[in-house]
C-alpha cells in the first residue's frame, strides 16, 4: 500500500537532474541514480507538507525561491544517521592516548578545542563531552575546554541543543555513563532521557556549511569529520582536507569515519590509529 501511495507523484529526469545539481552546489553532496528512490521519498514528504500537487510544482518553487527553500530542502535531503559512541575506538583513543597527550602539550595555555564538524543530532559531540569529563576530571574547572558542534542541517542542530533523546538511543552505552550524564524523563517523558547540563556547558552548537567560510579562527586540537566526506566528491574532499589541515594545531588530530580516507593527503599526516590522523608538530606547507 505504502509503495503505491509513495509513487503517486512523478519525478521526471529533468527535475531529478536539477535537484542533484542544486544539492551539489548547496551542500557538496553528490547524488546519482542510485539515490533516486531516497530523494523521491524525502522530497515527497516536503511536497505533502507544503500541500503541493507535484514534483514539478516543487521544482518551480526551488527555481523561483532557492534562498528561501534551501534550508528546508537541505534538512530533508541530508542523511543524519549517528549514535552515541559510534566507532567506539575513537573515544578510547581520545581517553587513553589523546587527552593525556594534550594535558602535557597544552599545559601552558591550559586550553583545549575540539570540533565535531558534522555533528548531526548531537550524539557525537556529547560522546566527546562525556569522554572529556572522564579523562579530564581534574582539569575541567581550571582549563578552558570547549567543543564546537556544527552541521549544515538546522533541524538536527535544534535536537542536539535540546539534548533530549529517546532512551533506546543510550541502551548500548555503559550503565555508569547513563547514571552520571543523563537524567530520566518522567510522566509523559518517561521514554526520554536528557543530557545533563555539565555536558551541555562544554558544547556550542552552530549551523555551518563545510563548503562555506569558516568563521572560527582555531586552532583546534582535534577535529571529528566522520561519515560526511563520503557524500562529497574528490575535489570537495581535497579542498576540505587542506582547510582542516590549516585550522588544526600542530600535533592536532583529524578523525575520519570508518569508510573514509585522506587519499593523497595522507602524506601530510601521520596515521596514529584507525582512521585517526595527526598533523605533525613540525608541519609542512601544503601548497
Ligand X SMILES: C[S@@+](CC[C@H](N)C(=O)[O-])C[C@H]1O[C@@H](n2cnc3c(N)ncnc32)[C@H](O)[C@@H]1O
Residues annotated catalytic, as ranges: 42, 151
The three-point CA angle 10-28-19 to 5° equals 15
Q: Output 132 or 139, the one with its CB closest to ligand X.
A: 132
| One residue of 31, 43, 94, 228 binding ligand X per CB under 6 A | 228
237 touches ligand X (CB under 6 A): no
- Asked if 35 is part of the footprint of ligand X (rule: CB under 6 A), the reply reads no
Q: Are 123 and 81 in contact (CB under 8 A)?
A: no
Q: In terms of CB distance, is 47 or 149 closer to ligand X?
A: 149
Residue closer to ligand X, measured from CB, 143 or 205: 205
**Residue 257 in the binding site for ligand X (CB under 6 A):** yes
124-134 b/e (C-beta count within 10 Å ≥ 16 → b)? bbbbbbbbbbb
- Restricted to residues 116-135, the positions that interact with ligand X (CB under 6 A) are 118, 120, 124
Site residue total, ligand X (CB under 6 A): 24
d(CA 37, CA 54): 16
Which C-beta is closer to ligand X: that of 9 or that of 156?
A: 156
Provide, rounded to whole angstroms, the least separation between the CB of residue 156 and ligand X.
5
80 scored as a contact of ligand X (CB under 6 A): yes
Transcribe 234-251 into DSSP letters: HHHHHHHHHHHHHHEEEE
DSSP string covering 154-172: HHHHHHHHHTEEEGGGGTT
Q: Kindly give the residue spans of alpha helices, DSSP state H, lying in the chain.
A: 2-6, 13-27, 36-49, 55-64, 66-77, 88-93, 99-105, 123-135, 154-162, 175-181, 197-200, 234-247
Q: At 146, which helix (H) or strand (E)?
A: strand 144-151
Distance CA 149, CA 46 (A): 27
Task: Compute the least distance from the CB of residue 163 to ligand X, in Å.
Answer: 16
Site membership for ligand X, residue 151 (CB under 6 A): yes
Per CB under 6 A, contacts with ligand X among 41-70 are none
Per DSSP, the three-state class of 9 is coil
Q: How far is the CB of 43 from ligand X (least distance, A)?
A: 16
Classified as helix, coil or strand, 111 is strand
Taking the complex as a whole, how short is the minimal distance between the CB of residue 236 and ligand X, in angstroms?
8
CB of 239 to ligand X, least distance (A): 12
Minimum CB distance to ligand X smaller for 80 or for 97 = 80
- The residue ranges that bind ligand X (CB under 6 A) are 27-29, 78-82, 86, 118, 120, 124, 151-153, 156, 209-211, 226-228, 231, 257
Amino acid at each position: 500500500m505504502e509503495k503505491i501511495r509513495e509513487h503517486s507523484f512523478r519525478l521526471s529526469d529533468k527535475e531529478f537532474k536539477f535537484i542533484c545539481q542544486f544539492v551539489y552546489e548547496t551542500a557538496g553532496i553528490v547524488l546519482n541514480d542510485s539515490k533516486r528512490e531516497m530523494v523521491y521519498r524525502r522530497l515527497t514528504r516536503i511536497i505533502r507538507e507544503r500541500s503541493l500537487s507535484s514534483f514539478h510544482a516543487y521544482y518551480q518553487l526551488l527555481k523561483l525561491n532557492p534562498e528561501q527553500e534551501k534550508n528546508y530542502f537541505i534538512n530533508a535531503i541530508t542523511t543524519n544517521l549517528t549514535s552515541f559512541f559510534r566507532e567506539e575506538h575513537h573515544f578510547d583513543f581520545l581517553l587513553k592516548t589523546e587527552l593525556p597527550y594534550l594535558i602535557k602539550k597544552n599545559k601552558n595555555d591550559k586550553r583545549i578545542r575540539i570540533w565535531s564538524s558534522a555533528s548531526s543530532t548531537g550524539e557525537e559531540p556529547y560522546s566527546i563531552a562525556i569522554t572529556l569529563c572522564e579523562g579530564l576530571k581534574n582539569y575541567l574547572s581550571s582549563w578552558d575546554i570547549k567543543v564546537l558542534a556544527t552541521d549544515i542541517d538546522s533541524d538536527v542542530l535544534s535536537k542536539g541543543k535540546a539534548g533530549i533523546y529517546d532512551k533506546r538511543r543510550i541502551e548500548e552505552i555503559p550503565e555508569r555513563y547513563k547514571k552520571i550524564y543523563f537524567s530520566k524523563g518522567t510522566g509523559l517523558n518517561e521514554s526520554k532521557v536528557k543530557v545533563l547540563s555539565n555536558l551541555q556547558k562544554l558544547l556550542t552548537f552552530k549551523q555551518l556549511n563545510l563548503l562555506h567560510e569558516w568563521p572560527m579562527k582555531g586552532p583546534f586540537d582535534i577535529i571529528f569529520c566522520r561519515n560526511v566526506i563520503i557524500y562529497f566528491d574528490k575535489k570537495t574532499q581535497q579542498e576540505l582536507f587542506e582547510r582542516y589541515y590549516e585550522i588544526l594545531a600542530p600535533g592536532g588530530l583529524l578523525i575520519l569515519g570508518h569508510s573514509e580516507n585522506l587519499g593523497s593527503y595522507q602524506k601530510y599526516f601521520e596515521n596514529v590509529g584507525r582512521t585517526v590522523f595527526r598533523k605533525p608538530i613540525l608541519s609542512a606547507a601544503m601548497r
